[in-house]
Chain A
């Protein structure tokens, strides 16, 4: 049951994109998203879609996985599209009773939907090509400068790493606890939301207690190995920028420039 859950979105593969430093990918994704909001016309979106398409092809991630990322947002996209269609005043195209579809509305609906799709696919690509651990390392590195204003980047990164590391362990614990209580006759499948929430108590309490027990053991283990915090720590597998990252940086700057031009000239 719980065994069948695959954690995270990472798709193992070998490609130019997979090889990029996580920091490069994070920054590029952020720039890409910001540019999506700077785009003023369909030309901007079309250009973004083209660049995205090329990037997806280079990443060698099968299209099925790319579109899987759209499934949960599908309803939101549909909802947004329909609402936008009816909400704007202007030149009426056709009427459905008291609802009218205008040219402006249709334009807005398509624009918003397209932008949303490009947004989701773009950020899916980040999580599809970067391991969660890579993401946390990248974020820690990017947050380092903020140490100066009191953001404890190392501690936060350590928390993220430990949290990620323990998710499979806690999932197993949860599975064991669920089975043990089911063997004592607990039934988690029937009832409305409130009664089901109460039935979760025999799982939640042991889970919390197990989690704290693991935390205590781990703290002792780390201190026994002289862990003292972030000062002066070095890594075994450091992140290194290579020529490939250089290429990516140049491309993203060009992309951003193109979209800024589009905005200024066309919108």
Chain B
């Protein structure tokens, strides 16, 4: 891994964390609509976004008020999703789907098994819904935006 890729990943992570922190009330509440999750479309543009988003989610969770369970589950869900999104980069409409699915399943399970919220399917559905709003409603426009500025970013 060369220096430039490491730093690109770190900066993507930093931007994710900054967006999460700046929009804190919505990012850390029970109704989690993390605007920063729109960034999960970035693996379609650069492979550095895969570790980048993982690190970003990790750091955002460390700096946030949630516990170690969240830190671990959320970050791994993000990593798994980013890896799959990268594979789907040639199909724009499917790129935001992995974060919805992985976060729904992993974070939803965490809410049910670790936090004791009853109704496994309800938990997963709830998280998936919040993710869908961020990833599709905000992520698709972000993808179009990044596409226009593609030449500037490379």
Contact = CB atoms under 8 A, between A and B. Distances in A.
Contacts of A201: 145
Chain A CB within 10 Å — which of B24, B66, B116 has the most? B116
A166 B21 contact: no
Interface in A96-125: 112-113, 115-116, 119-120, 122-124
Given A72-B28, A174-B18, A207-B15, A163 B116 contact: no
Given A79-B117, A159-B6, A160-B58, A72 B29 contact: yes
Interface in B3-35: 3-4, 6-15, 17-18, 21-22, 24, 28-30, 33, 35
A215 B24 CA distance: 25
B66 A33 contact: no
Interface string A14-40: 000000000000000110010001000
A205 interface: yes
Task: Report whether over half of chain B's contact residues are helix, strand or loop; otherwise say mixed.
Answer: helix
Contacts of B62: 8, 127, 132, 135
Given A167-B14, A170-B18, A113 B8 contact: no
Contacts of B22: 2, 5, 171, 174
Contacts of B108: none
Given A76-B115, A163-B55, A166-B11, A158 B17 contact: no
Nearest to A105: B118
A120 to B, nearest CB: 5
A123 B9 contact: no
A102 B69 CA distance: 30
Contact of A33 (B59, B68, B111, B149): B68
B141 interface: yes
Interface residues of B, number: 54
B59 A119 contact: no
B52 interface: yes
Contacts of A227: 3
B55 A124 contact: no
Contact of B8 (A120, A158, A215): A215
Contacts of A170: 14-15, 18
A211 B11 contact: yes
Using C-beta atoms within 8 Å of the partner chain, give the interface range for chain A. Answer: 35 or more
B68 A123 contact: yes
B9 A159 contact: yes
Nearest to B61: A127
A167 B15 CA distance: 8
Contacts of A37: 114
A266 to B, nearest CB: 20
B65 A211 contact: no
A88 B119 CA distance: 12
B37 to A, nearest CB: 12
B116 A212 contact: no
Given A119-B67, A119-B69, A171 B11 contact: no
Interface of B: 1-4, 6-15, 17-18, 21-22, 24, 28-30, 33, 35, 51-52, 55-56, 58-59, 62-69, 71, 111, 114-119, 137-138, 141-142, 145, 149, 152-153
Across the A-B interface, give the 8 residue pairs with the lowest CB-CB distance, nearest first: A123-B67, A112-B116, A162-B10, A163-B13, A123-B68, A215-B11, A166-B14, A159-B10
Given A123-B69, A155-B51, A160-B55, 12 more contacts: A75-B30, A79-B30, A80-B118, A83-B118, A84-B116, A120-B67, A123-B71, A159-B10, A166-B11, A194-B137, A204-B142, A216-B4
19 contacts: A7-B63, A8-B63, A9-B65, A72-B28, A119-B69, A123-B67, A123-B69, A132-B63, A159-B9, A159-B55, A161-B10, A163-B17, A167-B14, A167-B18, A171-B21, A197-B35, A212-B11, A214-B11, A227-B3
